[in-house]
Structure 1
Amino acid sequence: MKITQAFTFEAAHRLPHVPLTHRCHRMHGHSYRIELRLEGPVDSHTGFVVDFFDVEAAFNPLIAQLDHHCLNEVEGLNNPTAENIAVWIWNRVRPLLPLTAVVVYETPNCWAEYNG
């Protein structure tokens, strides 16, 4: 069984490794959407792969580090591309949950998906 739980947060960032003329070199913000995709057997007693409240509890400490912050100032995110944010989340959540993918949407039309 596959399940997905989505989260949102607001944050600013700049991409330090693009040319000075690239618009993402300047500080700007996004309304990020994160999808945590999980997979596993359905527990016959609970009926869950993982309780969504447990997913939320595992991810809330990371949201607290990201929401309304400058991502460049978050430990490990000095180059906060969608790709790097996805890996950063994976490395922190995967030990806690049976993740199969982390999807980071910078906009409704642009995203990165990481599956380890």
Structure 2
Amino acid sequence: MYRIAKEFHFSASHQLSHLPPEHQCARLHGHNYVVIVELAAQELNAAGFVRDYHELGLLKAYIDENFDHRHLNDIIDGPSTAENLAKHFFDWCKARWPETAAVRVSETPKTWAEYRP
């Protein structure tokens, strides 16, 4: 199995208002997010790629236009957790690139959530 991955960055605010008021994530706050999309294939294409990295620029444009410096509660359905963001980006990527195998979202350098079917 061949695997490739590409990393993307954005900054955004969110609030997990369903948590108890004393929970730090219940307050409005922000993160510098890192999104990593992983693609996998049994065989390489005619150019010798799983997928040309250049094509993944569509995800950068999507993130820049819809997520960067935005309030995530206004953008995604359900709680704006890293887990839900990973699933959201996975679904978006899978609809464009069938080789999409997983998406990882990090809110801090020490934490990440991943969606992998």
- Please report the TM-score for the alignment, with normalisation by the length of structure 2: 0.91
- Say whether residues 1:80 and 2:74 are aligned partners: no
Query: Is the 1:9–1:63 contact (alpha carbons within 8 Å) kept by the matching residues of 2?
Result: yes
* C-alpha displacement of 1:33: 0.3
Aligned-partner residue type, residue 53 of structure 1 = H
Query: Is the 2:10–2:63 contact (alpha carbons within 8 Å) kept by the matching residues of 1?
Result: no
**Distance across 2 between alignment mates of 1:92 and 1:64:** 14
Aligned-partner residue type, residue 79 of structure 2 = N
* C-alpha displacement of 1:63: 3.5
Aligned-partner residue type, residue 38 of structure 2 = R
Corresponding residue for 1:34? 35
Moved over 4 A (4+): none
Aligned pair in 2 of structure 1 residues 75, 111: CA closer, same or farther (>3 Å)?
closer
Q: Deviations over 1:71-107 (max 9, x none)?
A: 001142x410000111111121111111110000000
Corresponding residue for 2:89? 89
**Distance across 2 between alignment mates of 1:115 and 1:60:** 23
Aligned-partner residue type, residue 95 of structure 1 = A
The root-mean-square deviation of aligned C-alpha atoms, in Å, is 1.3
Structure 2 runs not aligned, ≥5 long: none
**Distance across 1 between alignment mates of 2:91 and 2:57:** 16
Q: Matched residues, percent identical?
A: 34
**Distance across 2 between alignment mates of 1:59 and 1:88:** 14
Aligned pair in 2 of structure 1 residues 58, 28: CA closer, same or farther (>3 Å)?
closer
Corresponding residue for 2:26? 25
Corresponding residue for 1:114? 115
Q: Deviations over 1:12-45 (max 9, x none)?
A: 00112111100110111100000000001212x3
Aligned residues: 114
Structure 1 runs not aligned, ≥5 long: none
* C-alpha displacement of 1:46: 1.1
* C-alpha displacement of 1:62: 3.5
Aligned pair in 2 of structure 1 residues 111, 75: CA closer, same or farther (>3 Å)?
closer
SS at 1:79's partner residue? coil
